[in-house]
Amino acid sequence: NQIFDAISYAKGASVIRMLAAFLGIETFQKGLHYYLTTHQFQNTVTEDLWASLRTMQMGASVDVETMMTSWTKQVGYPVVRVEEITPQNVPGSTTRTFRLTQTRFLRTGVNFDDHAQRWMIPLTISSQKSAHPTKVLMSEDNMTVTIEAGPTDWVYFNSRQTGVYRVYYATPRLVTAIGAGVANKQLLAEDRLGFEFDLYALVLAGVIPTTQLLNIYQYYRDEDDQFVWGSIISHLQALSHVFSEEDWFASFDSFACDLLMPVAKRLGWESRPDDRPNDATLRAQAISFLGELSHPDITAEGIRRFHA
């Protein structure tokens, strides 16, 4: 029965970050300064902040009040389905076109034909050859967008994970191309994390099969970011609890051990002077999960240390 709960603070911070990224940090800071100085020693309402940010856009066309009302006055958040409609095998093509559809994301299932709710979604789209993300405001249930990119380039929606929405890539070659961008680390660490987390969320919602997520993990074998690995381990651990009674669990066990043992070997069992800030946490996560999976080397070393 309280407004100021964990959802309010977490969602509130997320949508403010999303707005700041879409307007630009400098514009957002100027709008915030204008809001504070204009209304000093006064009471305000939410709409006063939106009006101040709109004033500082210097003629830009973003309707801040309408956009933010769609995020603050209704529950939940959306998922955007991305389908490529570019004709394939066009020699020398430098652009790609996508059909986007939005609906509410729910872990209990997603229906892309359900348009009972609609958000004004600030999309930030990066591609393999773009120096800066393309910004597009999605205000309808469906829209098309054209991006500068080569036929086989990766195109990633929600660059730097500033948007409060999930992304479902319905065209398989988009997933493959992004996977290649993950493997060669052309995608930023936060986007490698966001890509994996979106896929896991879509598995839970029944939108994609678990095998699609597991197949994507091949692109993360050379991952070096602790937060990305932490997310992967957490999700594999959750899946292992679901699959533990299945006849084929031994195959899942072997897959997870093969994926994670290089991480455990790289970090070792003992802290080191050259450890990065989060290596200790990742070391504990990797060794703990491999022990839970009864990896023989991890189990033997754990027993040896116990009796030492």
**How high is the mean pLDDT of the chain?**
94
| pLDDT at residue 59 is higher than 70 | no
Residue 209 three-state SS: coil
| pLDDT at residue 144 is higher than 60 | yes
pLDDT computed for residue 60 by the predictor: 64
Average pLDDT over residues 269-281: 92
pLDDT computed for residue 308 by the predictor: 87
Structure tokens that stand for 98 in this block = 């996508």
Cα 113 from Cα 119, distance rounded (Å): 15
Cα 290 from Cα 233, distance rounded (Å): 10
Residue 246 three-state SS: coil
Residue with tokens 């033997």: 300
Residue 248 three-state SS: coil
pLDDT computed for residue 52 by the predictor: 93
| pLDDT at residue 201 is higher than 80 | yes
pLDDT computed for residue 281 by the predictor: 93
Q: Which helix (H) or strand (E) holds 144?
A: strand 142-148
| pLDDT at residue 1 is higher than 70 | no
Range 250-259, long-range pairs (CB < 8 A, 24+ positions): 253/293, 253/294, 255/214, 256/289, 256/293, 257/290, 257/293, 257/295, 259/217, 259/220, 259/221, 259/232
For residue 58, name the pLDDT band (cuts at 50, 70, 90).
low
pLDDT computed for residue 89 by the predictor: 64
Structure tokens that stand for 290 in this block = 């491999």
pLDDT computed for residue 5 by the predictor: 79
CA 296 from chain centre, in angstroms, equals: 34
| pLDDT at residue 3 is higher than 90 | no
For residue 7, name the pLDDT band (cuts at 50, 70, 90).
confident
Which amino acid, 164?
Answer: V
**pLDDT tens digits, 61-99:** 789 999 999 999 999 999 999 999 987 767 778 899 999
Cα 115 from Cα 103, distance rounded (Å): 6
Cross-strand bridge partners of residue 100: 82, 143
Structure tokens that stand for 248 in this block = 């084929």
For residue 185, name the pLDDT band (cuts at 50, 70, 90).
very high
Structure tokens that stand for 169 in this block = 């890539």
DSSP code of residue 208: S
